[in-house]
Copies of this chain bind each other. A is one copy, B any other.
Amino acid sequence: MSNTVTPWEVKGKIDYDKLIEQFGTQKIDEPLIKEISDLTGGKLHTMLRRGIFFSHRDLNLILKDYSDGKNFFLYTGRAPSLGMHIGHLIPFVFTKWLQDVFKVNVYIEVTDDEKFMRNPDYSLDQTMQWSIENILDIIAVGFDPDRTFIFQDTEYIKNMYPVSIKIAKKLNFSEVRATFGFDNSSNIGIIFYPALQIAPTMFEKRRCLIPAGIDQDPYWRLQRDIAESLGYYKAAQIHSKFLPPLTGPEGKMSSSSPESAIYLSDDPKTVRKKIMKYAFSGGQATAELQRKLGADLSVDVPYQWLYYFFEEDDEKIKKIGEEYSTGRILTGEIKEYLADKLNRFLEEHRSRREEAKELIKEFKYEGKLAKEMWSKTIV
């Protein structure tokens, strides 16, 4: 099975240890976890405890800067789409937690320009409209409106253009071609775009920590090559695994196969139906066999979704794992359990999303950090 991970393609069953080796990143090991725990007074997000965020670059330096009072800032982003699914929330949920425990600024770039330029079928009107919709979902995650700046590239371009062209001047076609797999038929906008994705790592003269899927790593490798020559820090990253698609343990959820994902807008009936019908099970073919042999948790998507995201209680997930793998609970039961959890989560999410409509101005323009950002040019 091939194993392709670029910013646009995640295919095949993913060997995360191999990715660490391939990308040359560091594993998040026990001592590092302990260091975080010491700094946060014992708090550790589920996704850290369970190794969903599994790899990093310079996270140790981020923690040191935090201890030394130099502080750091967080940066993540979103290529807007018609609808966001559960998997899209992972970096945001985790970034929000980091903001809560470290009380730091968060910058969220919404790349309406990139999405438009990369896809022949999309109009700029569409990607700008999707940006607004996606921003509501992002706000619903619970960021601090005075410490978070959410911006669309087409809106904030003037303020970040000077630093972006300084970055662009340092990167030639060979470098971006090799890094992103561009070729001579790539359009000149998408060739320039890496400069705009790198720019927010230079929004402060502090170290930047980027929580994101490991597929975004190529951007940060380029950033790390040039940041210091521009008077900024090399960006640090913390990489997450991909929540497996409903339909099987391989690859990443995709908007092109709606049954592979739960969308944030899916109603309770749809959620239940998708899970019951499509969720790939590690359980046995019959109840009798399941009672006898138990489920294979390593390929069971409902179990993995609970483990990655929806069952935060360590005791409970342990118990579910034991009972399911030994056949004491059946596939139908674990699916029901996930469907309930998911529907509760989505109900709360959508209620916060409604409130976000009142808050969007704060995050984009009027909150403390947003105001600061609009009043300055990044050079």
Assess whether A195 is in contact with B189, with CB atoms less than 8 Å apart. yes
- Tell me, rounded to whole Å, the shortest Cβ–Cβ distance linking A80 to chain B: 14
By a CB distance below 8 angstroms, the chain B residues around A155 are 158
The quantity of this chain's copies bound in the complex is 2
- Which residue of B has the minimal Cβ distance to A117? B169
By a CB distance below 8 angstroms, the chain B residues around A161 are 113, 154, 157
Which residues of chain A in 89-116 are interfacial with respect to chain B, using CB atoms and an 8 Å cutoff?
Answer: 113, 116
Assess whether B184 is in contact with A194, with CB atoms less than 8 Å apart. no
- Which residue of B has the minimal Cβ distance to A116? B165
Known contacts: A158-B157, A161-B157. The answer to whether A192 contacts B174 by CB under 8 A is no
- Cβ-based interface call for A124 (8 A): yes
Assess whether A173 is in contact with B157, with CB atoms less than 8 Å apart. no
By a CB distance below 8 angstroms, the chain B residues around A186 are 172-173
Interface size on A, as a range, is 35 or more
CA separation between A168 and B182, bound complex, in Å? 15
A-B contact pairs, 24 of them (CB 8 A): A113-B161, A113-B165, A117-B165, A124-B379, A154-B162, A155-B158, A157-B157, A157-B158, A157-B161, A168-B187, A168-B190, A169-B187, A170-B187, A171-B187, A172-B184, A172-B188, A173-B173, A173-B182, A173-B183, A173-B185, A173-B186, A173-B187, A173-B188, A174-B185
- Cβ-based interface call for A177 (8 A): yes
- Cβ-based interface call for A208 (8 A): no
- Tell me, rounded to whole Å, the shortest Cβ–Cβ distance linking A167 to chain B: 8
Known: A154-B158, A169-B187, A173-B187. 12 other contacts (CB 8 A): A116-B169, A117-B169, A124-B165, A154-B161, A157-B161, A165-B189, A169-B190, A173-B188, A174-B184, A188-B191, A189-B192, A189-B195
Mark A340-364 against chain B: 1 for CB-CB distance below 8 A, else 0: 0000000000000000000000000
- Cβ-based interface call for A273 (8 A): no
- Cβ-based interface call for A316 (8 A): no
- Tell me, rounded to whole Å, the shortest Cβ–Cβ distance linking A221 to chain B: 15
- Which residue of B has the minimal Cβ distance to A161? B157
- The CB with the most chain B CB atoms within 10 A, among A116, A155, A166, A169, is that of A169
- Tell me, rounded to whole Å, the shortest Cβ–Cβ distance linking A178 to chain B: 10
CA separation between A115 and B344, bound complex, in Å? 56
- Which residue of B has the minimal Cβ distance to A379? B124
Known contacts: A124-B165, A161-B113, A165-B124. The answer to whether A188 contacts B174 by CB under 8 A is no
Assess whether B194 is in contact with A188, with CB atoms less than 8 Å apart. yes
- Tell me, rounded to whole Å, the shortest Cβ–Cβ distance linking A299 to chain B: 41
- Cβ-based interface call for A306 (8 A): no
- Cβ-based interface call for A176 (8 A): yes
Known contacts: A124-B165, A168-B117. The answer to whether A176 contacts B188 by CB under 8 A is yes
CA separation between A195 and B161, bound complex, in Å? 15
CA separation between A195 and B189, bound complex, in Å? 8
For A191, give its contact among B154, B164, B166, B191 (CB under 8 Å).
Answer: B191
